[in-house]
Structure 1
Amino acid sequence: MTHTPQAVTEPTPVVPRPQVPHRDLLQLEVLPDEAQIRADIERLRRERNAVIIAHNYQRPEVQGIADFVGDSLGLSRQAARTDADVIVFAGVHFMAETAAILSPDKTVLLPDLRAGCSLADTVTAQGIRDWKARNPGGLVVTYVNTTADVKAESDYCCTSGNAVQIVASLPADVPVLFAPDRFLAAHVIRETGRAMDVWDGACHVHEAIRPEDVQGQQLAHPDAELLIHPECGCSSRVLGALPDLKLYSTEGMIHRARASSAQEFIVVTETGMVTRLENDVPGKTFIPVSRTACCEYMKMITLENIRDALLNLEPRVTVPADIRERALVPIERMLAIG
């Protein structure tokens, strides 16, 4: 039986219908004119009688337009001493709260309210109250990297620079809770020999810095001096190998870099500190321990949202009067000690 070959027919091509542009789907933004933004900030700063303060971990361009750059408590104290009506805090939320505590008659702006703090989030006011209920007569020392309501439950505040001095001043026979940073607490315990209850908190950026990061930079830069912040999770192991090494607060890093004969430094903290060191100690080289040691919350503040905050006088950070009055007490006790 013979089969007649069938003709092969090509399928009719499917031609899609023309797409109609839907402009609502576009997510394009006009690239900002940085020079214009800077000019707007300068104009608005004068019109609002504002002071702009920036933490050491801010973006380089934000540090560049600030009136003051430094640590959180130092900035709040500087801003309080000015005759400004408005404080723009380029930092994170608890820092703006501290500025509001020290300057209740000024308008305090945080350009992006999403700028929080992983360390401050580890401790609550209720957690402090629970510890005090279990330890009547005990004393609570909290790092300034805490919210206003946590400070309000505290007996003393401290900074990374004066934590050892604050704890050393306390009566030896009284229970002490140190909160929330366990790595700073370990530094205080090493320096003072004081037994304390320690809150189990940490900064996610500092906790992630590994001894291997430090060792790798030491191999690459054998003549560089180490500048290590006591919040760093790597500090105990590094000190095990280098027991004479000193740890430094961010302001302490500035003083040490100026005084040291070293020309190179490995900066073991958030990367923004390199910008501050390069600006304040010119002529020396500063190497970040890790390019990934970068706080996404700190980097939420930009020139654009600083301009917008000055323009709109929003977002504003306030602290209720009762919380403010109670939170001011541990800060003032700390300042009285040093």
Structure 2
Amino acid sequence: MENNLKNKILKLKKEKEALILAHYYQRPEIQDIADAVGDSYYLSKVAKDCDENIIVFCGVKFMAESAKILSPEKTVLLPTFDAGCPMADMADPNDVLALKKKHPNAKVVCYINSSTEVKAVSDVCCTSSNAVNIINNLDADEIIFLPDKNLGEYVQQQVKNKKIILWSGFCITHKKVSAEEIIKAKKLHPDIKVLVHPECEKPVRDLADFLGSTGQIIDFVNNSDNKKFLISTEEGVLHQIKLKNPDKEFYVPSGGMVCVNMKKTNLNSVYESLLNMEYAIEIDEDIRKKAYRALINMHELGGK
């Protein structure tokens, strides 16, 4: 049944000349049918540069919106219309504008995990992989960073010559892991490497052997001679890691780290999305243009 549905999707994709993008946190079977699998930054580049005019974005809403912001002439489909991001919902554009008034000399850097409306009132977007570079390259001594306070704290540790004004948002999935679990895992497996996403809270980050974005965590495992790893990020990432590292052992914090919104997308919803061209992302053009500037600034400032 699953293979039959996969074949129907691939046939339909070819007929419609569509491109399927999947985030690392998607279900394994969704990653397997995608033309590109990656983190937010990589997928935003693929969406911007691809020749296809139909993009099926298997992720959450802010990701599909980012693709539409960068390529308004393309049809961007989000297979599951209610696949949102609680962290993105923690930032409101009016509140951002109010904070800007309190700090008139500050530049606003918003994590890509934010709504189009928040991007529109920001100076530049960032991802967890390029946040440090962007803030280092930004011509400002004061930075309002939102919505993730944990990533903002991590950036402040790396960029000591600038003042980071933190928002109070957080990722509900990365909040699930505790320092006690990491300590317990290290005692049980003294030779284990602990890999942590910067969206985790500080006590967990402080115990990391490596701290980095989803893509950076995968690269670390691929290039490491170590054989045991505790992966402290959304466990969908394990699919790609295990494919490339069959001889290594992987552990996750007890209880698991699952983003329920990322897991809403399934093969049937992808098929229905392509078949019926649903659900197409629509953005007000004035807001899109403002948000576009922030995303383009991310691509320009994100290098070394």
TM-score (norm 2): 0.94
Which segment is superposed worse, 276-285 or 107-116? 276-285
CA shift, 1:276, in A, is 2.1
- Alignment check: 8 A CA contact 2:222 2:241 kept: no
CA deviation map 1:132-187 (0-9, x unaligned):
12222321011011111111100111110111111122345x43210010000110
For 2:268, the equivalent position in structure 1 comes to: 304
Q: CA deviation at 1:241?
A: 5.2
Identify the match of residue 40 of structure 2 among 72, 89, 95.
Answer: 72
Give the match for residue 292 of structure 2: 328
Q: Bigger shift: 198-207 or 260-269?
A: 260-269
2:30–2:266 contact (8 Å) kept in structure 1 = yes
Is the radius of gyration larger for structure 1 or structure 2?
1
1:203-237 CA-to-partner distances (Å, cap 9, x unmatched) read 1011121112222322333222111100012xx22
Q: Which structure 1 segments of 5+ residues have no match?
A: 1-32
| One of 111, 132, 135 as aligned partner of 1:164 | 132
SS in 1 for 2:200: coil
Pairs within 5 Å for 1:82-231: 82-171=50-139, 174-193=141-160, 194-231=162-199
Q: Does 1:314 align with 2:278?
A: yes
Superimposed CA distance per residue, residues 71-100 of structure 1 (whole angstroms, 9 cap, x where no aligned partner) = 123112113322212111110000000011
Identity over the aligned pairs, expressed in percent? 39
**Which stretch shifts more, 182-191 or 289-298?**
289-298
Secondary structure at the aligned position of 2:286 is classed as: helix
Q: Does 1:237 align with 2:203?
A: yes
**Contact 2:12-2:274 within 8 A present in 1 as well:** yes
Does the 8 A contact of 2:70 with 2:295 survive in 1?
no
Q: In the TM superposition, what are the counterparts of 1:56-67 in structure 2 within 5 Å?
A: 56-67=24-35
In structure 1, how many angstroms separate the alpha carbons of the residues matched to 2:273 and 2:30? 14
Partner secondary structure for residue 230 of structure 2: strand
Taking the TM superposition and a 5 Å limit, the aligned residue runs for 1:255-274 are 255-274=219-238
| CA positional deviation for 1:281 | 3.9
1:277 paired residue number = 241
Amino acid at match of 1:287: Y
CA contact (8 A) 1:158 1:166 kept: yes
Report deviation, 1:327: 0.8
Aligned to 1:29: none
Once superposed, what is the RMSD of the aligned Cα atoms?
A: 1.6
CA drift at 1:38 = 1.1
**Structure 1 residue 46, shift from structure 2 partner:** 0.7
SS in 2 for 1:196: strand
Number of equivalent positions: 301
Query: Distance between the aligned counterparts of 1:167 and 1:207, measured in 2?
Result: 24
State the SS of the aligned residue for 1:204: coil
Q: Structure 2: how far apart are the matches of 1:69 and 1:281?
A: 17
- Structure 1 consecutive aligned stretches of length 4 or more whose deviation exceeds 6 Å: none
State the alpha-carbon separation in 1 of the partners of residues 205 and 274 from structure 2: 45
TM-score by length of 1: 0.85
AA in 2 matched with 1:325 = K
